[in-house]
Structure 1
Amino acid sequence: MAEQGNRKAQKRKARARRQAEQEALRREQAEIAAKERKQQTIIGGIVVAVVVALVAIIAIATFHPFDKKEEPKPVSTSSAYEALQKVKTKPSAVDKKGGILISKDGYGKKIKNAPTVDIYMDPMCPGCGSLHRQIDDDLVRLVNAGQINLVYHLMNFLDGNSTDQYSTRTAGAVLYVASNDPDTQHLMKFISNLYDTDFQPEEGSDYVPTDNAKIKEQGLKAGVPEAVMDKAFGGQYNKWLEASYDYAVSRKDLESNYGNNKGKMSTPTVLINGKLIEQSEISDLHIPQKEALLTSLDIKESEVGKEGVMPKIGGTKAPKPLQ
């Protein structure tokens, strides 16, 4: 009887293990599928007016919610860059291209010979959420070991998909934290919290109003001082965010050269050593984001987080091809 009971127990354990493996595979496939469906595409180019004036107004309301009292938007990369530099109130943590550079040495201190990973993201973008949930833990380990320089670029083009300008308020809070809390670990954790499946709001008709108190809570959970979070929602960087957006979408080096997204910029946008990592290619190849990141950096998973072990592409070489 005892032997029979043991056999039954072993069968139950084996069945439970198979079910757990199947569920893990299902979750991974669902994550990839969601990213493929929901990758947000930013409309590029200039809308020719007069005949399509109504379309132009709708586009402006969706992608430029703060430009009603501003001068016409610059159309060239050089003029957009110049306009970005002229914004009076700007986050102290950003560089001239609008990025927040983080390394093991702190803000704005680039590690020599380490690859640089740039990520362009909107706080509401579902594809951005999928990306961050898959790679944030590894990004933190790579940064802390001095294996990469990480640059965050905050965008707010999805304001029209919320009822309370969620993207602008949240992006502004991230910029304020980066500029007023010297602990880079707090910022990286804050961003991860914002993209957590239990927090990141749905977009469009599924959006549930998310007030500043809820965003603040994610910062406090990340270790950001309350005195900093209390001042993070003043809207002081709204003009800068608009100018940064205009500059980003004017840049040809951020436009995809692959598939249906060719000639467009989308979020998430990831660059390694200044070279675009095609998100559509990752989707077509059915490669998890973590695998794509480590392959592009040319570093083994077992080497991630090991100080002194550097990605083979170094600080200047192009990313390793995915196939």
Structure 2
Amino acid sequence: MFELFNKNHRYVRSRHNIPYKQEAEKGKIAISSVVIPCTGSDYIEEAVLSAEFASRFAKNLEEIVIVSDQSASLFPALPQKVRVATLDVPLREESYRYKQIYRSRLIKIQAPLQAKGDGILMIDSDLNLLQDPEAKIQEHSLYSSFRQGKMIAKMAEIPKELIPAYYKNAVRPVFEDHVNSAYLVATRSTWKRLCPLWSALFQDTWELMSDNQPPTDQLPLAALLDLLDIKTINLGDWVNWPVSKRIGGQPAVIPSQVIGAHGGFPLSEWQKYLHDPTQPLTFRGQDYTRKVRYLTDAEKQQS
């Protein structure tokens, strides 16, 4: 209850989860670049599919960039406007249980800087654009969808002496709602401010914490948004529509309002959508994603 009387808490809340429908949050910069991070050869197929969707349904884009640790030569023929940018990022020690996930987060955090446009949308490789992302954006703001869950809960079992100082007075990590990093939009200059510090905070956080959970990029991002005083604008649920959660396990048609469809498996169902967007599709339930996407390296080798 005392949070209501905390001046800093009130200030951050006033700049957090602001509906895009508010006219003051609409800018003049159109989204011209889409960036798709992709780490490991096992994710090439879905990244290529995501690029195919962006190429086909987001007609106003100037470029689509798959950012990967894999060589461009390993990718099949890509649609027009699609290119591959290859990055090299540090490896964790051999004993670390989530090396590929850690590496994938580092690729993701640097991915927006590989785009050339002024309005840059970064999407996860398992998110497919079904429409043009038409939001007009402005500087010093991050546009996304939001999800429930306190990011600070990731540190519930961490000894206090291991918690980095920048979390102790941070406000956004303790909010019930947080930016969902599967769909993030910002100007190029805003990304240039965010990415270097996001990378530094991510590495610092997960060097200190044990490997009893997969490393998330969203915890350091929440603290960083406070640090840089970035406004967060809510584009609504349709930009990041959770397919498995909403229609998984039963045949259903993707609603026409969906802008970004996130996490539908198997990928073969999306091939059906490409042929006919109006036909019912059957995706796996929402428990599938966590089972196959958040495995330790050892579990991944066994699967």
**What TM-score, normalized to structure 2?**
0.28
Q: Which has the higher helix share?
A: 1
